[in-house]
Amino acid sequence: MRLLIQRVDHAKVEIEGRVAGQTGPGLLILLGVTEGDGKQECEYLAEKAANLRIFTDSEGKMNLSLLDVGGEALVVCQFTLYGDCRKGRRPSFIAAARPELADPLYEYFVQCMKEAGVSRVETGEFGAEMKVSLLNDGPVTIWMDSAEIMPKK
């Protein structure tokens, strides 16, 4: 599972001109699922994202988490995080999980964020053509890949 996390002043996702989800100060999380991912990855990465100390304290240091600042999250499923550009000019998305695996794990990740204590978690719509807009704060962008950071089983 991969997360691209951006600290934002605000973010929103629109589908066919209507706002599907939006957030104020907090995180925009783009989430990609691959074959072999399961609930453990969701639980681990949601806890990690909610507690990641990337918000500034009164001294301007990144010492506070989303939970510490009472921030919100907008989570958007994005299979293109598993795009493989090693060959040719068209990315291959073969490593992205099929919808029947990815959608339930996306929903479970959102639930895990709520259970981690994030006060408000908004979403896009799985499989929809979405327009995502945001105002980066910092900018601060963090990449998390469960294959790289989770303790080995």
Residue 151 lies in a domain: no
Residue 94 lies in a domain: yes
Residues of the domain holding 75: 2-146
Question: For the chain, how many structural domains are there in total?
Answer: 1
Residue 14 lies in a domain: yes
pLDDT value at residue 151: 85
Strand partners, 130: none
Q: Is 79 a catalytic residue?
A: yes
Residue 90 lies in a domain: yes
pTM above 0.85, yes or no: yes
Residue 100 lies in a domain: yes
Annotated active-site residue in 55, 79, 109, 123:
79
Residue 106 lies in a domain: yes
pLDDT (tens place) for every residue of the chain, 153 residues total: 999 999 999 999 999 999 999 999 999 999 999 999 999 999 999 999 999 999 999 999 999 999 999 999 999 999 999 999 999 999 999 999 999 999 999 999 999 999 999 999 999 999 899 999 999 999 999 999 999 999 876
Distances (CA, A) of 21 to 11, 15, 66, 124: 8, 9, 18, 6
- Taking the alpha carbons at both ends of the chain, their separation in whole angstroms is 15
- CATH classification of the domain holding 69: 3.50.80.10
pLDDT value at residue 152: 77
Residue 97 lies in a domain: yes
Distances (CA, A) of 22 to 9, 39, 58, 94, 133: 11, 25, 27, 30, 9
pLDDT value at residue 6: 98
pLDDT value at residue 153: 63
Q: Is 80 a catalytic residue?
A: yes
Q: Is 34 a catalytic residue?
A: no
Residue 7 lies in a domain: yes
Annotated active-site residue in 34, 78, 109, 123:
78
Residue 110 and residue 9 in contact, taking contact as beta carbons nearer than 8 Å? no
